Amino acid sequence: MATQGLFTDIYQKFTGWFTEVQVDQKESRIHVPEKTLRCVWNDQLFRAENLKTTDNQELEIVFPGHWNFGPGPDFKNAAVKVSGKLLEGDIALHVYASDWTAQDQSGNPDYTNVILHVFMWENPHGQPSGKRPGNRVHELELKRFLTRGILELNHEVDFDHYPLLHQPDYGLCHQPLARLSKEKLTHLLNAAGDARIFTKMNRFHDRVIINGYEQTFYEGVAEALGYPNNKEAFQILSGTLPLYLIQNLVPPGIGEAEKALHIQAMMFGAAGLIEFKGLDTKALHPEDRSYFGTLQSLWDTYRSQVPPSRLIASSWKFGGIRPANFPYRRIAGLAHLLVRHEANGLFADYMTAFKNVIAQAAQKGDAAKIPGPMYDFFCVETDDYWAHHYSPAGKTLSSAQQLIGPARSKEITINMVIPIGLIYARASKSTALEAGLNALFQSGRKPGDNRLLRFMKHYIFGNKPEMLKALASEKQMQGLMQVYQDFCTQNKNNCLHCQFPGIVKKNFT
């Protein structure tokens, strides 16, 4: 196991694809995927108040438009107000203003209904702006209004949950993929799965150097608990309440249940949820009144010691979420995880347990198999208040429910343990640990499924049973998602311009 089963970068070499933002020193030009700009516009990740066009007119975004999956402008049927005048039409997005001409859109009839041209920068350093849209098309240089830097946004944008292609037929890559043997198709998907882990590694690498493994891992677990609706809110919460502060504030010598209660009070307070939607504690059942009263009292003692947070109650999303996944229960579960691993740290405890599993498997001569329970490491079963309730003072559940269940624990394992663990394995030059993480990635546990994967199974596999057999583990599933992000979402989602079919024919047949 010491030299076999390591992660490979063969997918990147074949595709030549880089998903992260790159800076070309020779040209002094920042390369940002246009998909990033689309996502920023789709989610309006900028200061929408006091917007100004390039000619200094007041701009209001009434409706950003619908994501366009075909040729033409990026968003259709938008509505904006310029100096109070309502305009309805399409939105065209570019990284640089001069890309309008470079992409030959000035005379394209598909762009005749464009009312607003949005770009990140006026022009590349030292280059002329070039021909611009006609006078009737207003322009917005977005860099002045971003809430965070574009490099940071590019790393934070959750590409997995952006609109899917609305095409009923198979993609052009279906035929070349269908011709591959199961072994070659599996090889391709495994390589793409490795690439997905490398992308996540790049996201965490600098954070590990700056904040250390434990804080980075804590932030990652918190983010995973909020995924996808409350991901950003959990990111802010774990940054506002770093591990060292929690450890310093919680009094020593108290029991685990009481420690969890103290941490919950801090977290609910910093999250802006401590009021629990104006809950009247006096009208509650005595047991409920005691719990919420204690939380309020504890928060009053910690309030002045916790940094100000920009989170408020409305920062948290409850709509479209199963009650079992409400933020209250996730916050409570995170508090219990921190208490459970207080002595050594959450990441350290996982790595210790994982190394023991690797050693035991090697002794049994089955080093490539990782026991399923390693996926359940983050499950939380407790007699906590939230194990018996979905909402504040809500109906008492007939039986206790896990605060963090197997599905979420597996998500944490795939999206946090493996990439951060791989950073650790390579930093410590442990090929045995890297091979173990790779084996964990390919474990026999039934791989997950979601809307995007179901789409891809149809779009490029045609739901053919013989092709679907290649999706036997999380590694292959993650590889399929990486293919989607690297190719299906590029080139304005135009399958006709996709390089992937050619790459399959050249490198995998």
Mean pLDDT by runs of 10 across the 509 residues of the chain is 70 64 42 77 84 93 81 88 92 88 66 92 60 73 83 65 55 90 94 95 95 98 92 96 97 95 98 89 84 95 96 92 94 98 97 92 68 87 95 92 95 96 97 93 77 82 91 92 84 68 86
Alpha helices in 341-417, H assignment, sequence order: 346-363, 406-412
Cα-only R_g, the chain? 25
Which residue ranges make up each domain of the chain? Answer: 46-145
pLDDT at 460: 86
How far apart, in whole angstroms, are the C-alpha atoms of residue 483 and residue 78? 30
pLDDT at 101: 74
How far apart, in whole angstroms, are the C-alpha atoms of residue 195 and residue 422? 13
pLDDT at 130: 46
How far apart, in whole angstroms, are the C-alpha atoms of residue 110 and residue 72? 5
pLDDT at 261: 97
- Cβ count near 318 (within 10 Å): 14
How far apart, in whole angstroms, are the C-alpha atoms of residue 152 and residue 371? 36
Helices (H) and strands (E) in the chain, counts: 19, 9
To the nearest 10°, report the CA torsion of 319, 325, 329, 332. Answer: -120
How far apart, in whole angstroms, are the C-alpha atoms of residue 431 and residue 435? 6
Residue whose pair of structure tokens reads 């609910």 in the numeric block:
268
Residue whose pair of structure tokens reads 């559940």 in the numeric block:
397
SS3 content of the chain, % helix, strand, coil (to 5): 50, 10, 40
How far apart, in whole angstroms, are the C-alpha atoms of residue 402 and residue 413? 17
How far apart, in whole angstroms, are the C-alpha atoms of residue 466 and residue 470? 8
Joined tokens for residue 60: 């209001």
How far apart, in whole angstroms, are the C-alpha atoms of residue 261 and residue 483? 44
Its pTM stands at 0.73
As a residue count, the chain comes to: 509
Strand 138-141 versus strand 114-121 pairing type: parallel
How far apart, in whole angstroms, are the C-alpha atoms of residue 415 and residue 220? 8
Asked if residue 492 lies in contact with residue 486, where contact means CB atoms within 8 angstroms, the answer is: no
pLDDT at 418: 97
- Cβ count near 104 (within 10 Å): 8
pLDDT at 508: 82
